[in-house]
Amino acid sequence: MNINLQRWIDRWVGIPLCAAVSALDAIARPFKTQTDAAPRAIVIILLSEMGSLVLAHDMFTRLKTRYPNAELHALLFGKNREILDLMQVIQPGNVHTVDDKSLAGLLGSLWRCVMQLRRANVDVAIDCELFSRISSLLSYASGARVRVGFHRHTQEGLYRGSYINKPVPYNPYQHISAQFLTLARAMDSSAVPTSKLQVMLPTQAPPHVQLDAQWVVDINKRLTNDFPAIAGKHLVLVYPGGGILPIRAWPLASYTALCNGLVQDGCAVAVIGLKDDQALAQQLVANVKSTHPESPVIDLTGYTRSIAELLALFHVAKLLVTNDGGPGQFAALTPIWTVMLFGPETPALYAPLTPQCHSFYSQWPCSPCLTAYNHRNSFCDGDNQCLKVIAPDAVLEKAREFLAAA
């Protein structure tokens, strides 16, 4: 479903629904029995961001350690399920997926998921979405007696009703992984605000996904057979696409200059992305070949058929250079070194939790412009100078440093 349609529905349908549920909750609250019983089942709602699932790894780990007798459930969009399964932090039978391909599919799958959560007797819902109204409504519909989620309090954030009974102030100065930990801890908190807790930060990178070795062998064999020109060379992957937020993309000219430098160094370069990124990838390949006709630069958009195959590719390659987005977060689950380019969003909040990643960020006065407060709807005119000023020579120098380390 189109992202602007999702925003429209969340605003014009979400606001009256949040108000109605708040009134219903206020009427019912005096008749509800309060209990301090340990939770039987906890659902984590993290619908939309595949990369955020990686950054939430510490939160999943803490919940399993703190509440060993509680079943963990997850509610997310179906397209994001594979990365959660690969991380092995939730039992597959406890993952509930929403279909966002159409409005009819969305409504039908939401009803199914709510019924599944009610049958599971979920008594705690942790809503990790940043001021999404649909996710807060789902936390209430799940039947959970404890509902944890981000709340605007005295800030200018989006209205989400008053039925979140463990409200956590969103903190735009703290890495999102630390804020996920705060959500998990807030379910036990009696402080005001609930996030008035001793600092707890993620202490280590997420563990690498344990792929079947055959996946790596197979992807390596396919590459060798399909693209013999790259054999025997260090393979560097680049992801120039911006996904549903094109403003996050480093300019094509900058990627061209970087790739020219890499092939001059004797590297092979592969452009990755979805099939929708193919036109951009073909243009990048053509740009490099116009200067270096025999250069080993290839288009791999749509080449990997699953997230598991993409992670296997990350095991074969030495380096990934990527815009802010999912691939950079997935890389933290593998041994690959990563260079990540930020501009409309900030690494202070979203940098991968691995020492094998370097984030470029120019800190322009208007950056970050994609925030929790504007539904990641930038006020920029499309001229993303915060990314354009990141020099290809600086990125190439860091790439060379990482290739030497790899």
In three-state form (DSSP H/G/I as H, E/B as E, the rest C), the secondary structure along 260-316 is: HHHHHCCCEEEECCCHHHHHHHHHHHHHHHHHCCCCCEEECCCCCCCHHHHHHHHHH
pLDDT (0 to 100) of residue 200: 86
**Mean pLDDT score of the chain, rounded to an integer?**
94
State how far the Cα of 400 lies from the Cα of 358, in Å rounded to an integer: 12
* Helix or strand (DSSP H, E) at 103: helix 103-119
Contact between 398 and 337 (Cβ < 8 Å): no
State how far the Cα of 75 lies from the Cα of 129, in Å rounded to an integer: 11
Closest by Cα among 71, 87, 359, 92 to 206? 87
pLDDT (0 to 100) of residue 201: 82
3-state helix, strand, coil in the chain (%, to 5): 45, 15, 40
Domain boundaries, the chain: 3-186, 213-405
Start-to-end C-alpha separation, the chain: 40
The pTM assigned to this predicted structure is 0.94
Q: What is the DSSP letter of 238?
A: E
pLDDT, tens only, 22-71: 999 999 988 877 777 889 999 999 998 899 999 999 999 999 999 999 99
**Hey, what are 304's tokens?**
């990997």
Handedness of CA 308, 312, 317, 318 (dihedral sign): positive
Residues lower than pLDDT 70 in the chain: 1
- 3-186: which CATH number, 1.10.1270.20, 3.40.50.300, 3.60.20.10, 3.40.50.2000? 3.40.50.2000
Tally of CB atoms within 10 A around 338: 24
Please check whether the two domains, 3-186 and 213-405, share a CATH topology.
yes
pLDDT (0 to 100) of residue 48: 85
Q: What is the DSSP letter of 74?
A: E
- Name the amino acid, one letter, at 46: L
The CATH code for residues 213-405 is 3.40.50.2000
Task: Provide the phi-psi class of 317: left if phi over 0, else alpha when psi is between -120 and 50, else beta.
Answer: beta
